[in-house]
Structure 1
Amino acid sequence: MERDVCTAETMLNLHYSYTHLWWGWVSKEALKGLVNRNIIITTRFSGVTGQLIKVKDDYAVLQEAGDSLVYIPIKSIELVTLVEEEEI
């Protein structure tokens, strides 16, 4: 299955009343545009909510509410949801 490549700019230009959704192939560059934003990253197995604090070559680092860090391989990301401040 071929997926569309999305950029952070494309994702942020999608406007919904509360949440922005980004679905498709996730690039490192697109994720870097979301550093310090609260997001939900969904993989095939689960979803993780937190603040994106770092993007490295092949993984992203989220800080969850309890201050624990979660390392997520970029190629396992299937969906990114940008959480608006009012929702936190």
Structure 2
Amino acid sequence: MSEHVSILRSLGVAVLALTAVVWVILLTRILRRGRTRAGRRPAAPTLDALPYQAQAGPHLESVELTPAERDAFAGLVRQLSDGH
């Protein structure tokens, strides 16, 4: 070890190198696990962290507006868009 390099700097380099090695090992394990699961699962992408959703959501509802309600809504939109 060089006499001009402090112990803390040498320790920092060692910690960073060790962290990089651990990160690479974990990344390769995650990628391998994803590759082996892909062979058993259908091609559709899934997120393992989220639970399966039984239904897509509530049905869409619509209400027919009267001409007066349409005019009132159009007036409200004009009021809100005048400021922008």
Q: TM-score range by the shorter chain?
A: under 0.3
Higher RCO (CA < 8 A, seq sep 6+) = 1
More helix by share: 2
Scaled by the length of structure 1, what TM-score is found?
0.14
Scaled by the length of structure 2, what TM-score is found?
0.14
